[in-house]
Amino acid sequence: MDTEDAIAIVGVGCKFPGAEDADEFWNVLKNGEDHVKDIPKERFNVEAFYDSDPDVPGKTYIRKAGLVSGINEWDYRFFGIGENEAKRMDPQQRLVLECTYKALEDAGITKTSLNQSDTGVYIGVMNGEFEAITGIDPNLLTNTSVTGISRSIISAQVAYFLNLHGPAMSIDTACSSSLAAIHTAEQAIKTGEMKMAICGGVNVLLSPATSIGLSKARMASRAGKCHTFSQNADGYVRGEGCGIVILKRLGDAIRDNNKVWAIIATTCNQDGHENSPITAPAGVQQVRLLERIFEKSAVHPSSIQYIEAHGMLNFFFLSFERMDKLTDLLSNGVFSIEII
């Protein structure tokens, strides 16, 4: 992987529960901090929608989530946005703009140097809860609502602010959206479509509607904890935040004297109809995905130090008894498993 054509991360910017930036997020991880809290009334009235029985119409058993601070606090004038427009913007747009600027600062890349460049923007986003709550009352809609609630504008806002001439894509592949965004950007860089890409993902929790649906599907944890790969697993805990990385070819990063955080390799898969229902991951396909990425990257499984697994796996793999095939492959190496 350590060749000039490998893809390097040269900048990182983020905001997660308990962390305003990458340094604070590292401390959260290092200290093992738990920032899953009771959902405050400022988001929505949990008591009005709560019921321990998931089958009660219009109710959810979810009371906790991982939330970022100051969701409505930002310097919109810095990004050239007027006050009226700022009031009608999805907070996901705001987070992506802020974290992109943090990532560029971390990379030592200036706004001036990016002007009219072919830099691409690829942002993973699956939820539009701001649209859900503002669309309830038509009287709240204004001339800026069209762009304010559109998920396509989340990536376009970055391109507009920086005057970028490369592709700007908001990608929704559900929980894998940010990974799919990074994979798409990596392929575009390798084909020569662009020299640099701004990639990442964002999620903000504003409406009880999604929680109600997750409760009905029994996908969310009643306890507000992820009991990973445990017999006590009962689903995942919802969380929000934003993470942005700047990608370049390793050779370009070295020549441009960029800081190199890491070298990455990606691949994607689709489980087809190997399992049922559609939300259930297929163990066989996950094994094939790992085998493909190891072969493609010329990496031996025994060299892998840890794996980050999707949080839903703690529920679905146990429910559908597919863990055996995945663990057979993982047993060839020494792993510690992290859950995302």
C-alpha 90/C-alpha 146 separation (Å) is 11
pLDDT band at 131 (very low <50, low <70, confident <90, very high): confident
**Predicted confidence (pLDDT) at residue 275 exceeds the cutoff of 50:** yes
SS3 string of the chain?
CCCCCCEEEEEEEEEECCECCHHHHHHHHHHCCCCEEECCCCCCCHHHHECCCCCCCCCECCCEEECCCCCCCCCHHHHCCCHHHHHCCCHHHHHHHHHHHHHHHHHCCCHHHHCCCCCEEEEECCCCHHHHHHCCCHHHCCCCHHHHCCCHHHHHHHHHHHCCCCCEEEECECECHHHHHHHHHHHHHHCCCCCEEEEEEEECCCCHHHHHHHHHCCCECCCCCCCCCCCCCCCECCECEEEEEEEEEHHHHHHCCCCCCEEECCCCCCCCCCCCCCCCCCHHHHHHHHHHHHHHHCCCHHHCCEEEECCCHHHHHHHHCCHHHHHHHHCCCCCEEEEC
The mean-pLDDT minimum among 65-69, 203-207, 222-226 falls in 222-226
pLDDT at residue 261, as a whole number: 95
pLDDT tens-digit readout, 288-313: 888 888 888 888 888 887 777 765 44
Phi then psi for 12, rounded to 5 degrees? Answer: -135, 135
| Residue bearing the bigger pLDDT, 287 or 37 | 37
Count CB atoms within 10 A of the CB of residue 87.
Answer: 13
**Predicted confidence (pLDDT) at residue 327 exceeds the cutoff of 60:** no
Going 267 to 271 to 277 to 282, the CA torsion angle's sign is negative
Closest CA to 200 of 89, 289, 67, 104: 104
pLDDT band at 146 (very low <50, low <70, confident <90, very high): confident
pLDDT band at 80 (very low <50, low <70, confident <90, very high): very high
pLDDT at residue 328, as a whole number: 52
Q: What is the mean pLDDT of residues 52-60?
A: 95
C-alpha 239/C-alpha 264 separation (Å) is 25
Residues 90, 170 contacting (CB under 8 angstroms): no
> Which positions ≥6 away from 239 have C-beta within 8 Å?
16, 17, 36, 65, 66, 67, 203, 205
**Predicted confidence (pLDDT) at residue 134 exceeds the cutoff of 90:** no
pLDDT at residue 311, as a whole number: 55
**Predicted confidence (pLDDT) at residue 6 exceeds the cutoff of 60:** yes
Count CB atoms within 10 A of the CB of residue 267.
Answer: 15
pLDDT band at 336 (very low <50, low <70, confident <90, very high): very low
| Residue bearing the bigger pLDDT, 229 or 177 | 177
pLDDT band at 334 (very low <50, low <70, confident <90, very high): very low
C-alpha 100/C-alpha 13 separation (Å) is 6
pLDDT at residue 1, as a whole number: 55
| Residue bearing the bigger pLDDT, 54 or 272 | 54
Complete domains list, the chain, with CATH: 7-266 (3.40.47.10), 267-340 (no CATH)
C-alpha 128/C-alpha 90 separation (Å) is 8
pLDDT tens-digit readout, 185-215: 999 999 999 999 999 999 999 999 999 999 9
Residues 207, 133 contacting (CB under 8 angstroms): yes
pLDDT at residue 295, as a whole number: 86
pLDDT at residue 2, as a whole number: 59
pLDDT at residue 101, as a whole number: 98
Place of tokens 């919802």: 238
